[in-house]
Amino acid sequence: MSHPKEAKIAALLHDMMQGHDIPGIAVVVFDSERSVIEQAMGVCRLGGEASVTLNSRFHVGSNTKAMTATAIASLVEDDELSWETKLIAVFPELAQVIHKSFKRITLRQLLTHTAGIQPFTDGSEYDALPEFSGTPQEQRYQFTRHLLASKPFSTPGEGHEYSNAGYSIAASMGERVAGMSWQQLMKVRLFDRLETEVFFGWPALSDPEQPWGHMYEGDLELSFEESRSRDSRALIAHPPTDSYYLTSLGAPAGDVSLSIVDFAKFAQVHLRGLRGMETILESETIRFMHEDIQGYALGWNINKAGEVTVSFHNGSAGTFFSQAVLFPFRDYGFVSACNAGHPLAWEGCAKLAQALFDEFKDGSLHVQEPKKSSDDQQ
């Protein structure tokens, strides 16, 4: 049964694509029990023939952080880790190597960006690293050792500093205690339990007919603010095989691709937990993961307006954009993803988020079409 506002949401998505240079987009609006509205439209690649569907995979960027934190949370529930586990307890062999300020940092601090770790939000930070060797898991361990031997970016435990590298270190902790790679940990501890299919890396690497990312020509060499001010509007498809990609070092912070339906399954786990329901994790664990620490929790931004709390996060590694928003006080949320990562696309998705909030803040998501009477069915 379709929702009364389905056509209105479809028109909203169409207008947003046209006005914000977005080739393809998908969105799912859900409550704690089911997906209520599912929409996908546009093309997977400019110049290509494949259409975006609900099964198309999108790169969700930093929304991977909440996924990594959720997989690690299962280790916490199994008492293989605790949120207050000190890094040095997992890597005792680094005791004589790491900076003294890092000896007391905890898993929770790494996942809430309060551990004082260098951000690694810019490619130049990775370019300055020494060369690491071995498997991705071995490289992440070497990265961890390198970071911890360096001076903290900020005083651990004092202030919030968004850090992709902090999630790499947390993933390395998970790899050590679980005895498996981050990819295996994510599959076994999260995606298999959700019965979802994912790909690590750009989606079109798994199938060229999957969505390609898009940017304005030359924007990958510019900062976000520089690209915002450009007049050129030559939108180009980003080949998934070129030199622009996330390395294994940053993968736990942002390198998952999955369908919008599977993305919604993940987000719904958190909505259900926030409303006191058991899922693949205990409700108490989910609620802990959304506790506000300077506006951030474990993979989620937290926004409070009076007694109302909203959990949300955006994700982009440059050529895609995604967002996840949860309104537990109204029992609904939504996820969206598009195959463009330029500033105009970001602005369009921000407008989409506001529009979806305005449409359903009165509880109308839960309103269904009236059932037909027996006379109508004759």
pLDDT beyond 90 at 281: yes
Question: What is d(CA 25, CA 338) in angstroms, rounded to the nearest whole number?
Answer: 4
Question: What is d(CA 149, CA 78) in angstroms, rounded to the nearest whole number?
Answer: 30
pLDDT of residue 374: 45
pLDDT of residue 53: 98
pLDDT beyond 80 at 221: no
Looking at 4-13, 134-143, 275-284, 356-365, which range is the least confident one? 356-365
Residue 98: beta bridge partners?
A: none
pLDDT beyond 80 at 117: yes
pLDDT of residue 227: 56
- The one-letter amino acid code at 311 reads S
**Which CATH number is 6-63+195-363's, of 3.40.140.10, 3.10.20.30, 3.40.309.10, 3.40.710.10?**
3.40.710.10
Looking at 60-74, 231-245, 359-373, which range is the least confident one? 359-373
Please tell me whether the overall predicted TM-score, pTM, comes out greater than 0.85 for this model.
yes
pLDDT band at 294 (very low <50, low <70, confident <90, very high): confident
pLDDT of residue 157: 87
pLDDT of residue 25: 98
Greater pLDDT, 170 or 235: 170
Beta carbons within 8 Å of 13's beta carbon, 6+ residues apart: 25, 27, 39, 41, 352
The pair of three-digit structure tokens given for residue 266, joined into one six-digit string: 């993940």
pLDDT beyond 50 at 370: no
pLDDT of residue 373: 45
Looking at 124-128, 285-289, 324-328, which range is the least confident one? 124-128
Domain 67-190, classified CATH 1.10.150.20, yes or no = no
**183-217 pLDDT, tens per residue?**
999 999 999 999 999 999 999 999 999 999 999 87
The pair of three-digit structure tokens given for residue 257, joined into one six-digit string: 């691709």
pLDDT of residue 377: 40
- CATH 3.40.710.10 domain locations along the chain: 6-63+195-363, 67-190
pLDDT band at 375 (very low <50, low <70, confident <90, very high): very low
As a whole number, mean pLDDT of residues 171-182 equals 98
Average pLDDT of the chain, as a whole number: 91
- List strands edge to edge, sheet with 256-259: 57-59, 256-259, 198-200
Q: Are 280 and 194 in contact (CB under 8 A)?
A: yes
The pair of three-digit structure tokens given for residue 297, joined into one six-digit string: 């929790």
Q: Are 181 and 136 in contact (CB under 8 A)?
A: yes
**226-270 pLDDT, tens per residue?**
555 555 568 999 999 988 888 999 999 999 999 999 999 999 999
pLDDT of residue 222: 57
Give residue for tokens 């926030």. 274
Question: What is d(CA 79, CA 73) in angstroms, rounded to the nearest whole number?
Answer: 10
Provide the 3-class DSSP secondary structure of residue 310. strand
CB-count exposure of residue 130 (10 Å: 0-12, 13-18, 19+) = exposed
